[in-house]
Amino acid sequence: MGFASSDEVVTYIGGIFKDAFADPEIGPKLTATGQVFRFVFTDPEATVCVDAPTQSVGDGTGQPPPAATMRMAAEVGNAYWQGKVNLPMAMAKGQITVQGNVASLLKLAPLGKRLFPVYIARLHDTGRADLLL
């Protein structure tokens, strides 16, 4: 089983960041990065754009240009946010491509790690344990 629709990708992957902004500890740190990141998924196609300074999550429309864009299959995205994908290794295998400033993504690494349990909890809480790896 994977994501059934683009909306579902946006709900779950985008939801990670909505939860993160709402978290009293993670939220301010994510905002403080001052960065805009875009995730472009395939199978199904979806775009999630995270604007840290304004704490907004959208599809990129009307949002500032991103510092970095990560492209991957939605299945890889699901694994990534569960902490199951190593970014440089996935880049070497061609599973993830990064356009823009990869250094800004690396600086996010400690925060990203703290978002993995947030995503896993969301999958549990919304009855999508089938997406757990």
Binding site for other proteins (CB under 8 A): 86-89, 91-93, 101-104, 106-107, 109-110, 113
Give the shortest CB-27-to-other proteins separation in angstroms: 16
Residues 6+ apart with CB under 8 A from 102: 68
Neighbours of 79 (CB within 10 A): 17
Give the shortest CB-83-to-other proteins separation in angstroms: 9
Residue (46 or 112) nearer to other proteins, CB: 112
Residue (107 or 124) nearer to other proteins, CB: 107
Residue (10 or 66) nearer to other proteins, CB: 66
Contact 76, 95 (CB under 8 A): yes
Of 44, 18, 41, the residue nearest 122 (C-alpha): 18
* Measured distance CA(61)–CA(124) in Å, rounded: 30
Give the shortest CB-28-to-other proteins separation in angstroms: 13
Give the shortest CB-92-to-other proteins separation in angstroms: 4
